[in-house]
Structure 1
Amino acid sequence: MKPGANAGGILAVASIAIVVGTLAVALRLYTRKFVLNQIWLDDYLAVVSWACLIALAIQNFHAVSTGLGSHFDQIPPSGYNAFFKDLWLGLVIYNITLLFTKLTLFFQFYRVIRQTSWGGLKMFNACAMSIIAAWQFAQIFVQVFACVPVEAAWDQTVKGVCQSILVTRTMNSVGNIVTDFIILLLPLPIIWRLALPRKSKYAVIGIFSLGFFTCIVSILRITLTPTGESDIAFQTVSVIAWTTAEVLTGVIIASLSTMRPLMSRYVSGFTTRGTSKATSATSRSRASYGMQNLYAKGTPGTSRADRRSMLASPARRFSGGGWLDLSESDREDMARHGVAGLRMPDLARLEPGIGRHGSIRVTKEWSVRGET
């Protein structure tokens, strides 16, 4: 049937979800593969989350064709089954998408902390991931078997027992609010331990703060869920549109936190280029010694093993990474600069990827000099 009078909103949100979600995940994968050369489990989970988001958006388009956005009395009786089946399927896909999006974030956190000594944080991450994953699996089960037999959820001729849609959506929304807060709070200890300037830390926190939008959407879903006496085909549009936006936000958050290296490479303003100056005799001497012994290939009297030994302690100190996505070589570069006497704010402004295994060099856009 033709799109109803209230179908424009859901069509717009579904279209935006496809375009923006695809762009976010594509940039994430480009950053991880071609900038950092590191593809890990969380990246594969992000692809699964994106695929579920696309499936949800396509399902929204199909739901419009079966009556979503129209007044219920405009749907012919022969189309009732298709309409209610679309509603049921949308809830199932929604919960599956949330499961993989949250797993993406948890494994992303684990990737950052797995080589650190933060045992308590690792344990909390593992416990929180297990509990929240179990909750999401339970929600998928509840939505699939909202009616017994399952066909009773959309086929009015099948006799069965069904749960109240208001009760199940309220339970689902409250659970999502709690789990979203846990996920939002989890990265804070990680962020504050990173060797980053305060401005950069605030930027990362700002990205994850977008997650509060999902909490707001969960509250809206409770208040907007129509009752049994409502014009469900017409009034459910706002709930489904906000639900799709919630899922899209989760996919964006999971991808944005990995894009700093890409922005630093291609976008002006995400990295600061300039000249670092040593302002004291001690700093000048330390910088000069570091340049001679760590940045020059084949420096007389200094073997590669000696340089690695000199770098060991700073490398451990910066092992938490300079951002949520710094490669091991980038972290080693940061450690080298630290030994050379550069200040910590200067370290954070260095572009990821200026050094690579097999050679030791400084990007031409930086220089260290003393003032006389």
Structure 2
Amino acid sequence: MKPRQSMPPLSEEELAEDQSPQLLVVFVIFTALPLIVVTLRIIARRVTHQAISYDDWLIIIAVFLCIAQFVFLIEALRYGLGRHIQVVPTTSIEPYLLYTFLSELYYAIDVTLVKMSILALYLRLFNIHPLFKMSCYALMVIVLAWGVSVTFTTIFQCSPISAAWDKTIPNLKCFNLANFIIGSNVPNILADALIIVLPLPLVWCLKVSPMRKFGLIALFLVAAM
């Protein structure tokens, strides 16, 4: 392996920092929560004798991918995630980068599936409004285009592809990852905002009391978070 690029010296205290325990807690919580919620959702479907719909299947696939991403992140923790790169053993850098790369790849696919599931749910709940349906389909196209572009950009972030985790490859080329993260997150956040506000006018027009309208709107907003 090529020698590492020179980095500013860190104090002994800084080199001893290890955030992997905190990261492990975050990974466990945000993997367990969707798993529990989706499991309860499917159980509720079965108890009420409702068929599993497209939105259910999309979120089920997303949960399985979330579990796969959790496995990759655990492996990345094992090889050095959460610690300063200067204290990570040389032999651990390549597997650490590989599992980080795989988790990034699954993240893009997972986020796309979750958004598509929400929009499919909207279509199932409000399928009698032509303009709303057209808006949902348009957002689905945007979300899918974002997912495909981010997934392929993640895969081909380096030339050759394996250079994303194998830094011993001569003449490797990688684009600026920080700029890519910013550029991909801006449309992602905008899509989230549109998905959140899309059903609110329809909910407000329901023939129910204002308190129930506010309750339903709050429910949509909380679910969107």
Q: In the alignment, what sits opposite 2:181?
A: 169
Q: Deviations over 1:292-324 (max 9, x none)?
A: xxxxxxxxxxxxxxxxxxxxxxxxxxxxxxxxx
Q: Distance in 1 between matches of 2:196 and 2:49?
A: 25
Q: Deviations over 1:91-136 (max 9, x none)?
A: 111111101000100100011122x1x1111111111111121111
Q: In the alignment, what sits opposite 2:13?
A: none
2:136 partner letter: N
Shift in Å at residue 68 of structure 1? 0.4
Alignment equivalent of 2:52, drawn from 29, 39, 43: 39
Equivalent position SS for 2:52: coil
8 A Cα contact 1:180 1:211, kept in partner: no
1:41 partner letter: Y
1:68-107 map, 5 Å:
68-107=81-120
Alignment pair present for 1:26 and 2:39: yes
2:154 partner letter: Q
Q: In the alignment, what sits opposite 1:149?
A: 160
Cα separation, partners in 2 of 1:134 and 1:61, compared to 1, 3 Å: same
1:290-301 map, 5 Å:
none
Q: Distance in 2 between matches of 1:191 and 1:55?
A: 36
Equivalent position SS for 1:59: helix
Alignment equivalent of 1:136, drawn from 147, 160, 185: 147
Q: Distance in 2 between matches of 1:212 and 1:126?
A: 18
8 A Cα contact 2:59 2:117, kept in partner: yes
Percent of pairs identical after alignment?
A: 26
Alignment pair present for 1:178 and 2:190: yes
Q: Deviations over 1:49-102 (max 9, x none)?
A: 111221222222111001001221221111111111122111111111101000
8 A Cα contact 1:10 1:60, kept in partner: no
Q: Distance in 2 between matches of 1:207 and 1:53?
A: 24
1:135 partner letter: W
**Larger helix proportion, structure 1 or 2?**
2
Cα separation, partners in 2 of 1:163 and 1:211, compared to 1, 3 Å: farther
Q: In the alignment, what sits opposite 1:201?
A: 213
1:269-284 map, 5 Å:
none
Q: In the alignment, what sits opposite 1:122?
A: 133
Alignment equivalent of 2:222, drawn from 210, 233, 236: 210
Cα separation, partners in 2 of 1:192 and 1:34, compared to 1, 3 Å: same
Pick 1 or 2: higher relative contact order, CA cutoff 8 A, min separation 6. Answer: 1
TM-score normalised per structure 2: 0.86
8 A Cα contact 2:59 2:113, kept in partner: yes
1:200 partner letter: R
8 A Cα contact 1:56 1:94, kept in partner: yes
What is the total number of aligned residue pairs between the two structures? 208
Unaligned runs of 5+ in 2: 1-16
Q: In the alignment, what sits opposite 1:56?
A: 69
Q: In the alignment, what sits opposite 1:188?
A: 200
Q: In the alignment, what sits opposite 2:30?
A: 17
Q: Deviations over 1:213-253 (max 9, x none)?
A: 5xxxxxxxxxxxxxxxxxxxxxxxxxxxxxxxxxxxxxxxx
Cα separation, partners in 2 of 1:111 and 1:55, compared to 1, 3 Å: same
Shift in Å at residue 156 of structure 1? 0.8
Equivalent position SS for 1:61: helix
1:13 partner letter: V
Cα separation, partners in 2 of 1:40 and 1:132, compared to 1, 3 Å: same
Unaligned runs of 5+ in 1: 214-372
> Cα RMSD between the aligned structures?
1.7
